[in-house]
Amino acid sequence: MLAKKTTWEIGDPQTAFTLPAKFFYDPEIFDEEKRNVFFKSWHCVCHESDVPEAGSFITENIFEQSVIVVRGRDNEVRAFHNVCQHRGNRLITERRGKVNVVFRCGYHSWSYGLDGALRAAPRSECLQGFDKGGHGLKSVRMEIFAGFVFINFDNNAQSVAEMCPGAEAEIRRFIPDLDNMRLIEEVDVSVNANWKVIQENSIEAYHFDLSGPVHKHLTSLIDYKSYTLKEYGNWWTYMAPPKAGVTAAYGKAINGASYQTDWFFNIGLFPNTTFYCFPFTDMLGTFIMIPTGPETSLLRFGYYGPNGQIPELTKAGIHWMNTELGPEDIALNLTTQKGLHSFGYDQGRYLVDAERSNQSEHLVHHFHKLYYQALRP
Ligand code: FES
Ligand SMILES: [Fe+2]
């Protein structure tokens, strides 16, 4: 039986051993991770267009914390803790919706304006010295970055823009129509794997040619040899140009398709947000790995497209992700999660070459490094 480590030597990617197995299932490490990583990092909630008009709201749950993002009558987007200031009832239970004027608590009807101010508290006139002004909803730090709404529980954290210099320009280079994208579909999938297992799988292309048949279809669409994986501090990209001469993708002819980019483009922001485009689709995908426990995650797939008619090939690409590529990777996530518990495994190696080639796993090491530095500052 191998001794399981609870510390890690970051080391050099070409010689280091991988992040030890316990970091993917141990409840104590998970508690540490909640406090030091997730309660101090930026969470991507939605695109600005998900709250299109006054009263449109969306909620985001991060462990036991819940946050409401709402557009006010002044067109400002704000974020509040999703909790009534009377006796602590959770205000909103839906993921998204619209209220006319106020949020009304379902318990004793305290009502809050879209700006968070307490508007009504039945029978409060019988209280001595009760000041409505002191009982508004509590704000949560929020930032719009690249058209997306991000929240953070840490008021001392660097802004997303400061944390990820250059990232927004890179997204806009591939999605020039970023500000006009609209949600096509949001799909939540529960995955019995630690969020890092899912992340690691997505940031290497070593497995593309070696795992399942759907990945082979992906490599048939791209110039796989030209796949690059680059790290830029707290963000990273992995991308490839389209393969020359491709005529069909996702079961449809490419002829007549419209798209903002024909590249397979992916950009990750630490810790758990990824934006991507599939080749030949007019789509921006969001891929967000939300931890729900040491060995469970909510994988949230968002698909955004241009206003108006969605091209057929784009629809086919979304269907392919939901029914083929996503499940093929999730199956690997589940078997990896099981394997990590084995008495016969603690650490492996990163397949990293000096050239940082298309099949090199340097981004996995980079991600582990960022993670470990955040976990044990
Ligand atoms: S807990 Fe909300 S009104 Fe009482
Ligand atoms: Fe994959």
User: What structural domains does the chain harbor?
Assistant: 21-41+166-375 (3.90.380.10), 43-152 (2.102.10.10)
pLDDT at 2: 82
pLDDT digits (tens, 9 = 90+) for 328-371: 999 999 999 999 999 999 999 999 999 999 999 999 999 999 99
- 241 upstream amide cis, omega within 30 of 0: no
Three-class DSSP category at 228:
strand
User: For residues 8 and 283, what is the distance between their CA atoms, to the nearest angstrom?
Assistant: 39
When computed from its CA atoms, the radius of gyration of the chain, rounded to whole angstroms, is: 22
Identify which ligand lies nearest to the alpha carbon of 287: 2
pLDDT at 298: 98
Instruction: Say which DSSP state 126 is in.
Output: G
Partners of 139 in the beta sheet? 80
Q: At 272, is the pLDDT very low, low, confident or very high (cuts 50, 70, 90)?
A: very high
Helices (H) and strands (E) in the chain, counts: 8, 19
Count CB neighbours of 238 within 10 A.
22
Q: Whose CA is closest to 304, among 240, 260, 269? A: 260
Q: What is the mean pLDDT of the chain?
A: 97
Crossing angle between the packed helical segments 195-202 and 362-375, to the nearest 10 degrees? 150
- 340: exposed, middle or buried (Cβ count in 10 Å: 0-12, 13-18, 19+): buried
User: For residues 17 and 349, what is the distance between their CA atoms, to the nearest angstrom?
Assistant: 5
**Distance in Å, CA 111 to ligand 1 centroid:** 9
pLDDT digits (tens, 9 = 90+) for 200-237: 999 999 999 999 999 999 999 999 999 999 999 999 99
pLDDT at 258: 87
pLDDT digits (tens, 9 = 90+) for 44-66: 999 999 999 999 999 999 999 99
Three-class DSSP category at 345:
coil
pLDDT at 327: 97
Ligand 1 proximal residues by C-beta, below 6 Å: 84, 86-87, 89, 105, 107-110
307: pLDDT strictly greater than 90: no
1: pLDDT strictly greater than 90: no
293: pLDDT strictly greater than 90: yes
Token pair, residue 360, equals: 């090199």
User: For residues 263 and 252, what is the distance between their CA atoms, to the nearest angstrom?
Assistant: 17
Mutation choice for ligand 1 from 86, 111, 138, CB with most ligand atoms inside 8 A: 86
* Nearest protein CA to atom 3 of ligand 1, as residue: 108
Q: Give the residue-averaged pLDDT of 261-288.
A: 97
Residue list, CB under 5 A from ion ligand 2: 329
pLDDT at 256: 83
Token pair, residue 7, equals: 């510390």
pLDDT at 3: 87
* 58 Cβ neighbours under 8 A, 6+ residues apart: 45, 46, 50, 51, 68, 69, 70, 95, 96, 149
Identify which ligand lies nearest to the alpha carbon of 206: 2
Residue with the bigger pLDDT between 306 and 350: it is: 350
40: pLDDT strictly greater than 90: yes
User: For residues 372 and 363, what is the distance between their CA atoms, to the nearest angstrom?
Assistant: 14
Q: Give the residue-averaged pLDDT of 91-108.
A: 97
Please report, rounded to a whole number, the percentage of residues in the chain having pLDDT higher than 70.
Answer: 100
Three-class DSSP category at 97:
strand
Residue with the bigger pLDDT between 345 and 307: it is: 345
* 157 Cβ neighbours under 8 A, 6+ residues apart: 40, 41, 42, 141, 163
